[in-house]
Structure 1
Amino acid sequence: MLETTTDPNALLEVRNLWVEYNTPTGSVPAVAGVDLTLAKGEFLGVVGESGCGKSTMLFGIAQLLNPPASVTAGEVWFKGQNLVALSAKSLNHLRWRDFSVVMQSAMNALNPVHTIGHQFKDAIKAHAKWSETEIRVRSAEVLELVGIDPVHLKSYPHQLSGGMRQRAMIAMALLFTPDLIVMDEPTSALDVVAQRSLMAQIKELQKQLGFAVIFVTHDMSLVSHFSDRLMVMYAGQVVELGTTRAVFDAPAHPYSKGLLDAFPSIRGEKKRLTGIPGAPPNLGRPPTGCRFHPRCPVAMDRCIVDEPELYQVGAVQARCLLHEPAAQKVEIES
């Protein structure tokens, strides 16, 4: 009997995922043992600084890695199938129909020499045998879903604004109404107003169509009101995972707290932004023990040698020795 997901309610289950880059100086683990479960219709935000493995993890889940990157261990179960074990042909059958990917830069993802309608048509023809009329009708429908006039099916990417190009990519991802859409920083090139508008539209589409979302960003404040759960990544590892409200109200990991302290609040008294000193480590030579200890304001001597696991802390899980069950509980300074 084939092994499947252990959670019958899970749409996606990632188990001990490792992604490594093969470099001239050796193997570099960019994603180190990530586990996550995503329910149907759930919105999961993934946050962290640049270089922490967020996008690599996303591409590992979607099986879109190119050499020198590859999945070296772990499983990605999606609707009862292990994507890591599937052939390229089987994966191509699932992509767009069952799960879609919205890339970081729509201008690079969209072909500049073809109209939006032509690119929608190519995506549909690669996965279904629809008539010209069916293609035209569905293409117009998905553009209207994201608030773009279907007249722009005749437009080229350079004739659209940045926000419209991103929404056109989301429309393309919705052509077959997939169960999962993974998004790699789709708002990074947009201004603050356009970011908020696009996030609200994604959330509204999710409620309307019922698909699940994995949304990767480096901006914690961007997903604060839109994600159901939040995953915080640092140096290729998950350092905190829980409901978005729980993470924002009482961050259990010093790194999560540092990220939150780096963003200004529009409420309460004025506070100096502290940020996090230093930079993420070289993943080819990660620090011993806790990977965050060189930058951590509450690091202990044992953090240098003891590698923490994910410990349950109320409504969240945190990879910090302060929360080790056998250890003495120490409050993270506020």
Structure 2
Amino acid sequence: MSGVLEVRGLSVQYATPRGPVTAVSGVDLDVGRGEFVAVVGESGCGKSTLLYAVAQLLSPPASVTAGSVLFKGHNLVTMSEKKLNVLRWRDFSVVMQSAMNALNPVRTIAAQFADAMNAHAKLSGKEIATRSEEVMRLVGIDPAHLRSYPHQLSGGMRQRAMIAMALLFTPDLVVMDEPTSALDVVAQRSLMAQIKELQRALGFAVVFVTHDMSLVSHFSDRLLVMYAGQVVETGPTRAVFDTPAHPYSRGLLDAFPSIHGPRVALTGIPGGPPDLGALPSGCRFHPRCGSALPACPSQEPALYRVGDAEARCLLHAPVPEVTP
């Protein structure tokens, strides 16, 4: 599978009165063509900051302090804003968390689609209208709603309109920041099914950020689990769900009820995420971990291979060979 996105050692800091706070720490991420990669974790784990860093949409006080983001061979981190604007929407696009905030409330959907297309291509009014109708039909909305303002659409329709805008130029990559968070369960499932169907039909890759493990289990190909700015587990979605290798991944899965099998009590994860400005020593998860080893408070783990996945946990550290 050829790669669309290659992230290496990406770190992001926020400037604060207490000094710089690292919200994303040395993250690696590969996305192949037509692949659906989900990034999950609790609120404040750095997943949305990672997405904004990948799309180069960070604004002060946040900044990329290390690493590279290669999109089709081009490093977005070192690229000028002018060159980035050429790539955005045409080659990669972003679907924001809240469509009501992302869409202009005083312009119709048609006008906003036209703005995006005029910024990146020389098209006639008829071509713009035709393409606008096409993408609205793709996401299951009657093109008549092109004449609507955002407040006249339901939450689910606004999110679909944002996805339609993201597909105006049939990009190679679409990054999505919790696009289903404001929707009810039925609307979430309907929207996710629509995204997956469009992805299969058009062949674009997806990086999808969410805190909902139950959603990604049905739709993603690979999974990144983040905690306190780090990737703590990564691998094929089924491998992570069937045999989670990191105690944090197991905790996230135990916090969601299953609709199959016997009824079991939800256990959750004790405590709360650490202050990113005062991280615990060693493994960042050890104060909340029921499987912590004596070395965990002092030794920071690497990502260790566990079957088809990788986990940042000393439980999987290779045993040193004993020489006679």
TM-score (norm 1): 0.95
Is 1:27 aligned to residue 27 of structure 2? no
SS in structure 1 opposite 2:283? coil
SS in structure 1 opposite 2:284? coil
Is 1:80 aligned to residue 73 of structure 2? yes
Supply the distance in 2 between the matched residues of 1:229 and 1:72 (Cα, whole angstroms).
26
Hey, what does 1:147 align to over in structure 2? 140
Hey, what does 1:285 align to over in structure 2? 278
Supply the distance in 2 between the matched residues of 1:308 and 1:109 (Cα, whole angstroms).
39
In structure 2, which of residues 267, 285, 293 is the aligned counterpart of residue 274 of structure 1? Answer: 267
Give the AA of the match of 2:103: L
In structure 2, which of residues 51, 57, 61 is the aligned counterpart of residue 64 of structure 1? Answer: 57
Is 1:18 aligned to residue 11 of structure 2? yes
Hey, what does 1:260 align to over in structure 2? 253
Give % identity: 74
Residue 319 of structure 1 deviates from its aligned partner by 0.2
Hey, what does 1:5 align to over in structure 2? none
Q: Any idea what the Cα deviations from partners look like across 1:61-105, whole Å, max 9, x if unmatched?
A: 000000000000000000010000100000000000000000000
Query: Contact 1:43/1:228 (CA < 8 Å) preserved in 2?
Result: yes
Matches within 5 A, 1:121-136: 121-136=114-129
Supply the distance in 2 between the matched residues of 1:18 and 1:40 (Cα, whole angstroms).
24
Query: Contact 1:54/1:233 (CA < 8 Å) preserved in 2?
Result: yes
Matches within 5 A, 1:222-261: 222-261=215-254
Query: Contact 1:321/1:327 (CA < 8 Å) preserved in 2?
Result: no
Hey, what does 1:305 align to over in structure 2? 298
Query: Contact 1:97/1:176 (CA < 8 Å) preserved in 2?
Result: yes
Supply the distance in 2 between the matched residues of 1:264 and 1:60 (Cα, whole angstroms).
32
Residue 10 of structure 1 deviates from its aligned partner by 1.3
Supply the distance in 2 between the matched residues of 1:10 and 1:146 (Cα, whole angstroms).
26
SS in structure 2 opposite 1:176? coil
Q: Which runs of 4+ in 1 moved over 4 A?
A: none
Q: CA RMSD in A?
A: 0.9
Q: What is the aligned length?
A: 321
Supply the distance in 2 between the matched residues of 1:230 and 1:290 (Cα, whole angstroms).
21
In structure 2, which of residues 92, 102, 116 is the aligned counterpart of residue 109 of structure 1? Answer: 102
In structure 1, which of residues 157, 163, 172 is the aligned counterpart of residue 165 of structure 2? Answer: 172
In structure 2, which of residues 79, 92, 100 is the aligned counterpart of residue 99 of structure 1? Answer: 92
SS in structure 2 opposite 1:301? coil
Give the AA of the match of 2:25: A
Segments of 5+ residues of structure 1 without an aligned counterpart are: 1-7, 329-334
Hey, what does 1:316 align to over in structure 2? 309
Residue 301 of structure 1 deviates from its aligned partner by 1.5
Residue 36 of structure 1 deviates from its aligned partner by 1.0
Supply the distance in 1 between the matched residues of 2:172 and 2:319 (Cα, whole angstroms).
41
Hey, what does 2:176 align to over in structure 1? 183
Is 1:42 aligned to residue 35 of structure 2? yes
Supply the distance in 1 between the matched residues of 2:250 and 2:203 (Cα, whole angstroms).
32
Supply the distance in 1 between the matched residues of 2:117 and 2:272 (Cα, whole angstroms).
43
Hey, what does 1:4 align to over in structure 2? none
Supply the distance in 1 between the matched residues of 2:282 and 2:289 (Cα, whole angstroms).
12
SS in structure 1 opposite 2:13? strand
Supply the distance in 1 between the matched residues of 2:170 and 2:319 (Cα, whole angstroms).
47
Supply the distance in 2 between the matched residues of 1:41 and 1:269 (Cα, whole angstroms).
36
Residue 327 of structure 1 deviates from its aligned partner by 6.4
Give the AA of the match of 2:173: L
SS in structure 1 opposite 2:93? strand
Supply the distance in 2 between the matched residues of 1:327 and 1:66 (Cα, whole angstroms).
45
Q: Any idea what the Cα deviations from partners look like across 1:206-234, whole Å, max 9, x if unmatched?
A: 00000000000001111101000011000
TM-score (norm 2): 0.98
Q: Any idea what the Cα deviations from partners look like across 1:142-167, whole Å, max 9, x if unmatched?
A: 00000000000000001000000000
Supply the distance in 2 between the matched residues of 1:267 and 1:80 (Cα, whole angstroms).
44
SS in structure 1 opposite 2:218? coil
SS in structure 2 opposite 1:207? helix
Q: Any idea what the Cα deviations from partners look like across 1:154-183, whole Å, max 9, x if unmatched?
A: 000010000000000000000000000000
SS in structure 2 opposite 1:100? strand
